[in-house]
Amino acid sequence: MEIKQLKYFVVAADIGSFSEAAKVLYTTQSSISKVIGALEKELGYSLFRRESKGIALTYEGKKFHQRASRLVADFETLKNDSVKRQRNMVKIAVNHSSWLANCFSDFYESHKDDDVCFCIHADTTSNIINRIRLMEDEVGFVYVFPDTRLQFEYELKKYQLKFEKLKSVDGMIYFQPDDVVKKNEVRTNIIHNLKYIQSEQDEYIRNAAWQTESGEKVNINDDIAVITNSDYVMHALLEKNSLANLSADSFNSYDMGIRPGIRLKNEGGEIEFGVLINDNGRISKEVEEFITYIRNQLLKL
């Protein structure tokens, strides 16, 4: 059995047509039929029923399709990883964060002549844990919430990962990008008249235990107008549509009495920001330098 047979089978099954699969695979219909016929002979059972409108999977074909799809996907991942290693790929995972994005932009400027290709993957903390566990990324920068800290620590032990806390932060309600407010101008009743844009799988949505610095409880769930996984959409709507966003307090420095938004406390405690590493993985020189760069930026605060 060859990966080519599995790939031809999976594509044909997904499309439901040998002729259309041939177009996708840049081959001929007769070649598709021949390859899949040989696969069926080797397996000892039929994978497809030929119907008037095309082809359909048999019962055995459906079961085989589930396993073959995973194998084909895994093979493509291994092939892509091989190409990335050949290109000296530096892979970093991050939670969505404008501060981290700006840090990387400045870091890249001083490394733009290096013979590497940087791959920055933005995702949720739980997904980044899995990526670091599987060594898909060299390092992850994540926020850990009070209500998920025990689960987070359990997964660290389970997968033998290490987490270094770099900073503790509160929550912050932001308005327009780079907009600031004076502390004495902040009125908590503003919060109740806002509409919000939040990220998909957003821990700030799930965690409703927020309160103002004066102790007033805040729950934004009923006031969310847009949910997106796009930083472009997030930035555009914050800038042009008078929406707000609840996320982590900014690491940027501001003049005394000035803030980028309205700070919120979490009833369970502060949010921990830090770096996630798999000791069994490879840490490149560039990643070590980026970790040091982030540490130094935080020390300046």
Regarding whether 164 and 277 lie in a shared domain, the answer is: yes
pLDDT tens-digit map of 51-80: 877 899 999 999 999 999 999 888 887 776
Regarding whether 259 and 183 lie in a shared domain, the answer is: yes
Q: What domain count does the chain have?
A: 3
Mean pLDDT value across the chain: 87
Residue 45 has pLDDT above 60, yes or no: yes
Regarding whether 227 and 112 lie in a shared domain, the answer is: no
Calculate what percentage of the chain has a pLDDT beyond 70.
91
pLDDT of 85 reads: 58
Regarding whether 134 and 280 lie in a shared domain, the answer is: yes
Domain boundary among 27, 50, 85: 85
pLDDT of 193 reads: 81
Regarding whether 178 and 162 lie in a shared domain, the answer is: no
In the structure, what pLDDT confidence band is assigned to residue 184 with cuts at 50, 70 and 90?
A: very low
Regarding whether 81 and 132 lie in a shared domain, the answer is: no
Domain boundary among 70, 85, 100: 85
Calculate what percentage of the chain has a pLDDT beyond 90.
55
Residue 144 has pLDDT above 90, yes or no: yes
Query: Domain residues for 232?
Result: 171-269
User: What is the average pLDDT across 131-159?
Assistant: 93
Regarding whether 26 and 157 lie in a shared domain, the answer is: no
- Residue 67 has a CB neighbour count (10 Å cut-off) of 10
Tokens, residue 130: 């899995």
Domain boundary among 32, 50, 85: 85
Least confident stretch, 12-26, 142-156, 196-210, 281-295: 196-210
What CATH number is associated with residue 58?
A: 1.10.10.10
In the structure, what pLDDT confidence band is assigned to residue 188 with cuts at 50, 70 and 90?
A: low
Radius of gyration of the chain (CA): 25
Query: What is the 3-state secondary structure of the chain?
Result: CCHHHHHHHHHHHHHCCHHHHHHHCCCCHHHHHHHHHHHHHHHCCCCEEEECCEEEECHHHHHHHHHHHHHHHHHHHHHHHHHHHHCCEEEEEECCCHHHHHHHHHHHHCCCCCCCEEEEEECCHHHHHHHHHCCCCCEEEEEECHHHHHHHHHHHHHHCEEEEEEEEECEEEECCCCCCEEHHHCCHHHHHHCCEEEECCCHHHHCCCEEECCCCEECCHHHEEEEECCHHHHHHHHHHCCCEEEEECCCCCCCCCEECEEEEEECCCCEEEEEEEECCCCCCHHHHHHHHHHHHHHHCC
Regarding whether 45 and 186 lie in a shared domain, the answer is: no
- pTM for the complete prediction? 0.70
Q: Please tell me the distance from the alpha carbon of residue 236 to that of residue 209, in angstroms, as a whole number.
A: 28
Q: Please tell me the distance from the alpha carbon of residue 15 to that of residue 30, in angstroms, as a whole number.
A: 16
Regarding whether 77 and 20 lie in a shared domain, the answer is: yes
Regarding whether 92 and 134 lie in a shared domain, the answer is: yes
Tokens, residue 92: 């970093």
Taking Cα atoms as reference points, which of 9, 287, 270, 283 lies closest to residue 135?
A: 283
Regarding whether 187 and 51 lie in a shared domain, the answer is: no
Regarding whether 220 and 182 lie in a shared domain, the answer is: yes
User: What is the average pLDDT across 97-118?
Assistant: 92
249 — phi, psi (to 5°)?
Answer: -55, 145
| Measured distance between the N- and C-terminal CA atoms of the chain, rounded to whole angstroms | 59
